Each structure stands twice: as structure tokens, then as C-alpha cells.
Amino acid sequence: MVLPDIPYKITHRAVHYPRLEFKTGELVLILPFGLSPDKLMEKHSKWIKEKFNFIAECIEDASEKRIPDRTIHEFKELVLRFMKKASKNLHKVPHKVHFRKMKTKWASMSSKKKLTINILMQYLPNNLIEYVIFHEIAHLIVKKHNEVFWKIVSQRFKNYKKLEKELFSFWFLITRMAKQN
Ligand SMILES: [Zn+2]
């Protein structure tokens, strides 16, 4: 199988389907236990190829991105502003907001309605910060990434697919930067 030239590691885990993780700028292909990596790669070649091509594109796009210059205070103000806006729009309010560094995601919403924001979002452009917050608050209506969920998101962000891709490019850029510092 010909894959774009992206360095990656293979690891095995108790999963049913292959998965890709992209933590600190390093790509990890997670394969289920059982068959040999070659057999598994062959079996899931279509999925793996598609994912790798997507990542290769994102890495290429990342070179053109600029990281905004804002203080942590400015960032937190911005988050609160976008939260208010999204809450008003979706009629849902998180119980708590929490800022911390996360290694695998931009933000998350717990079942107790606690919104956790990755402080690395400080380096995202405004429109992506707004999108991530809207996305998380939309999870107060629908938990999963199903059709209904994306329908809600697309009412405000028609171009959510493009934004998700841009987020991936920034993830690559920012986690690599964070690793160096
Ligand atoms: Zn989500």
C-alpha cells in the first residue's frame, strides 16, 4: 500500500477497527489485536489511505497558517463571549467552564455539563474558537456525532467540514510548537 510520506508508529490495542491518533505531532496507527500489521493494513487499506491523504493535506495547509497573537486573558474573554453567544443560540448553558492543557482534543463536554477548554486553543483564530465552543455546546443537545448533531452545527456553521479540517492543521502546528517549547 502506498501511503503519503508521514512518519507514524503502529501500536495494537483492544479495538474492533483501526484508529488514528495524532497527539504531540506524532501519528499513531492503532490496530486491533490478531492479524499481523501487514494483513490488517491490507484489510483496511481504503480507510487508512483516505485518512493518511487527509492528514497529508492538513500538514501541507499548516505551513500557510498564522498563529494569532493574544494573551491568555484575551483568550479567556473571547471564550466567554463565544460561550454566551452559543448558549443564547442553542438555549443550552454549560454548568462550569474549565481551562487546562489537553493532549488529544481541543475541548470536551462532560455528562455533568462541564465544558473543558484546551488552553492550546489560545493559538487558534477567532472563527475556529467560536466553532469549537458552538460544537461543544451543541453536545448538550446531542451527545454523539450523528446526523442530527451535524444538522444543528451546520445551521450556524455550514462550512463545518472545512473548519474541522483547519482545526486539524492547527492541531499539527500547535502541538508541534508546544512540544518544542
Ligand atoms: Zn464533538
Asked if 58 and 77 sit in the same domain, the reply is no
pLDDT tens track for 80-92:
999 999 999 999 9
Asked if 76 and 107 sit in the same domain, the reply is yes
How far is residue 91's CA from residue 3's CA, in Å, rounded to a whole number? 44
CA 139 to ligand 1 center in whole angstroms: 7
Mean pLDDT, residues 49-70? 87
CA 60 to ligand 1 center in whole angstroms: 24
Count of other CB atoms within 10 angstroms of residue 121: 21
CA 135-51-139 angle, 5° bins: 15
pLDDT of residue 181: 65
In a domain, 67, yes or no: no
Asked if 102 and 151 sit in the same domain, the reply is yes
CA 144 to ligand 1 center in whole angstroms: 7
CATH number at residue 132: 3.30.2010.10
How far is residue 60's CA from residue 157's CA, in Å, rounded to a whole number? 24
Mean pLDDT, residues 122-144? 97
CA 35 to ligand 1 center in whole angstroms: 31
Amino acid at 83: M
| Mean of the per-residue pLDDT values of the chain | 89
DSSP 17: S
Answer whether residue 2 shows pLDDT above 80.
no
Answer whether residue 37 shows pLDDT above 90.
no
In a domain, 88, yes or no: yes
CA 89 to ligand 1 center in whole angstroms: 17
- Residue 19 — pLDDT band, cuts 50, 70, 90? confident
Answer whether residue 108 shows pLDDT above 90.
yes
